[in-house]
Amino acid sequence: MPPGQRAAILPHPPLLVPELAGGAAAELDPLRRACLEALHAVLDGAGGVVLVGDGPVWGVPGPDAAASFRPYGAAVDVALPDLHPLDLPGLPEPVRLHGLPLSLAVAAHLLAGIGTPPARLSAVTVPVSLGPRAAGTIGRALAAAGERGPFGLVAMGDLSARRSEQAPGAFHPAAAAFDRSAAAAFRDGAPGRLLDLEPAAAAELQATGRVPLQVLAGTFADGARPRGRVLYEDAPFGVGYLVGVLTAP
């Protein structure tokens, strides 16, 4: 783990794009502010920043990869600026992506809202089929790639989508406890506990952020315990949204 490493978890609902939120835009303002605060915390002083989002494959966006929120109802197009390749020895060659999945599209939208982009930005996608050990191995490889200077990682992922009867997956009694356990790992500065999130439980609860969270945990596997804080923890539409930051000493 590089000294000064910082990492954050952000959710990626399309409604973070105000043009899509309509009358609910003001309700989501606290979530948007927390996301921007977390991005500033990670980018501050970081020589390189890696975005990790869920996607169909283990992949990296091509230099012209872009996305549009038009399918969701808003004429908003996004792209990630000046992506840098990653050297990750020991890992399989990632698939080159011609477009951005929703996780990285929302990340691109949020990055556009902070003004100056990071000096060196990279991005990867991880499929939901990865187990905790494989996800943690990717995290350790990303941390090793950033050892030459302060390193930042932003994991994009929603928690359970079954927090209420109005949720996309309807109510599940275990959803709130699953989400609380992820938030507590950030609050306590204990990212290793994220590796205990069970793939089967995450799948049943429709928690698409499980693998990005476990990649994030892997980046802290070989260092001192980080400081943690939670900036947002709620489920406004029956989906658990967590914004948390970890900072290595």
Question: Mean of the per-residue pLDDT values for the chain?
Answer: 93
Q: What percent of the chain has pLDDT over 70?
A: 96
What is the average pLDDT across 128-143?
Answer: 95
Listing DSSP states for the chain in one string gives --TT-EEEEE---GGGSHHHHGGGTGGGHHHHHHHHHHHHHHHTT-SEEEEEEE-SSSEEEEEEEEEESGGGT---EEE-SSB-----TTSPPPEEEEE--HHHHHHHHHHHTTSSPPSSEEEEEE-TT--HHHHHHHHHHHHHHTTTS-EEEEEE----S-SSTTSTT---TTHHHHHHHHHHHHHTT-GGGGGG--HHHHHHTT-TTHHHHHHHHHHTTTSPPPEEEEEEEE-TTSS-EEEEEEE--
Residues 6+ apart with CB under 8 A from 49: 42, 43, 118, 120, 121, 122, 151, 152, 153, 154
> In this model, does residue 239 exceed pLDDT 60?
yes
pLDDT winner (highest mean) among 58-67, 198-207, 215-224: 198-207
> In this model, does residue 204 exceed pLDDT 90?
yes
Render pLDDT for 173-184 as a digit per residue (tens, 0 to 9).
Answer: 999 999 999 999
Render pLDDT for 68-117 as a digit per residue (tens, 0 to 9).
Answer: 999 999 999 999 988 998 889 899 999 999 999 999 999 999 999 987 77
pLDDT given for residue 115 in this prediction: 78
CA distance 179 to 202: 10
8 Å CB contact between 52 and 12: no
Give domain limits for the chain.
Answer: 6-247
Render pLDDT for 160-172 as a digit per residue (tens, 0 to 9).
Answer: 999 999 999 999 9
CA distance 229 to 187: 5
Question: Across-strand partners of 8?
Answer: 154, 245
Residues 6+ apart with CB under 8 A from 40: 114
Amino acid at the residue 2: P
What confidence category does residue 21 fall into, taking pLDDT thresholds of 50, 70 and 90? confident
Q: Which fold has domain 6-247?
A: Protocatechuate 4,5-dioxygenase; Chain B (3.40.830)
> In this model, does residue 149 exceed pLDDT 70?
no
- What torsion, rounded to 10 degrees, do the Cα atoms 58, 144, 202, 179 define? -140
Distance from the Cα of residue 249 to its chain's centroid: 21
> In this model, does residue 28 exceed pLDDT 60?
yes
What confidence category does residue 147 fall into, taking pLDDT thresholds of 50, 70 and 90? low
Q: What percent of the chain has pLDDT over 90?
A: 77
> In this model, does residue 234 exceed pLDDT 80?
yes
The pTM of this model reads: 0.95
Alpha-carbon distances of 179 from 2, 122, 142, 202, 246, rounded to whole Å: 28, 28, 25, 10, 17
